[in-house]
Amino acid sequence: MRTVIPQGFRLAVSTAGFKRSDRPDLALAVSDAPAAAAGVFTSNLFRAAPVQVGQEMLRESKSARAVVINTGQANACTGQQGLADCRRARELTAAAVGLRPEDILPASTGVIGVRLNMEAWGRGMSGLDDALGKAGLEEFAAAIMTTDAFPKYAGEVLEIPDGKVVLAGVAKGAGMICPNMATMLSLVLCDAAVDPAVWQAMFARVADATFNRATVDGDTSTNDTLYGLANGASGIRVDNPADCGRLEAALTRILSDLAYKLVQDGEGATKVMRIRVTGARHDKDAELAARAVGHSQLVKTAMYGKDANWGRIVCALGRSGAVFEPERARVSVCGLEIFSHEQPASRDYDALLREPLQKRDIELDISLGDGPGRYILLASDLTHEYVTINADYRS
């Protein structure tokens, strides 16, 4: 069953040949009317040209008509010419579909240091106007993939007292994933009318609770971008606290789904670790502990090897920077406590965990004491395939 596209949006994909000529590598989403626009971007100091242009656009206007995304060329660390290329690409896109350049939010992904191929961009514009409305969310998600193994999309029909609102989202990313808003791009479309300031604040909160709690390899990209467009085409206005809460909950479910899929599709990944830390002094200590475990290459390779090596988890906790009493720390894997009181459990946990560790989803529960701090992080394992993919990435 195909995911429903919110009312008033049309999607198109095109094959420009930025890196390969055998599949679409350019995607466009157009709203039939101006839409409230939200954006959350990378915290990397080396911001790609489309990130800079997108931020500039949202400072000047809180509405947009379209988002255009290309793969194969990140247009990051390309200087003033990269900025000029990005702006020219918006001009070409606007001319192709009858919009203004300032209506279009850009995003790019691919190899850092590679400028946009403007000749290829021109090829991608051919027939784009006729293609609008012919692509589904699945095709859009597939067109923005790079090393992704599968397209990532999610949608929901939200019922509120005044009627139904549709949300739909796409994301791409498999490597360089540690959003600190990974290479990670995402777009959410919504057919409700929402105040732009409310929409932006909502996106910032939800990004922090979802994408910012997912990691594959600990690398934050130059190009991380999350856009949201809400065009009001459903005729439903979301403006009271209760409905805003419902909309934010739906947005959280969609981005949580996409964040999980990013980790699931981590380059070469076979596992998704859900690392829950509780009992910390405060949330920041819990986050330090979770990220130390999730980024530990030794923990990640142990999970790949289906090895309940609690020593690697405990070692990561001890160097995390979180403040806690070691004798109060407890570690459970797949629901089985294997470490407490500074020593391993007196049971054959290797035998008991042999079957649970065969599964894709691995639960790691860590208690640091009885404080109020807590944090959840999704993390992948580390496999031979990750090294192979990234050793050959530019070849």
Q: Provide the annotated active-site residues.
A: 183
| Joined tokens for residue 304 | 């790949």
The dihedrals phi and psi of 170, each to the nearest 5 degrees, come to -130, 160
Q: Where are the alpha helices (DSSP H) in 114-240?
A: 118-125, 128-131, 137-143, 196-209
Per-residue b or e along 164-176, where b marks 16 or more CB atoms closer than 10 Å to that residue's CB: ebbbbbbbbbbbb
Strands 152-160 and 163-172: antiparallel
d(CA 145, CA 25): 8
3-state DSSP assignment of residue 341: coil
The dihedrals phi and psi of 340, each to the nearest 5 degrees, come to -165, 160
3-state DSSP assignment of residue 194: strand
Residues 382 and 301: beta-carbon distance below 8 Å: yes
Residues 29 and 229: beta-carbon distance below 8 Å: yes
3-state DSSP assignment of residue 98: coil
d(CA 255, CA 148): 17
31 forms beta bridges with: 9
d(CA 269, CA 234): 39
* Cα radius of gyration (the chain): 22
SS (H, E, C) 354-376: CCHHHCCEEEEEEECCCEEEEEE
Residues 377 and 215: beta-carbon distance below 8 Å: yes
Neighbours of 248 (CB within 10 A): 18
d(CA 129, CA 51): 25
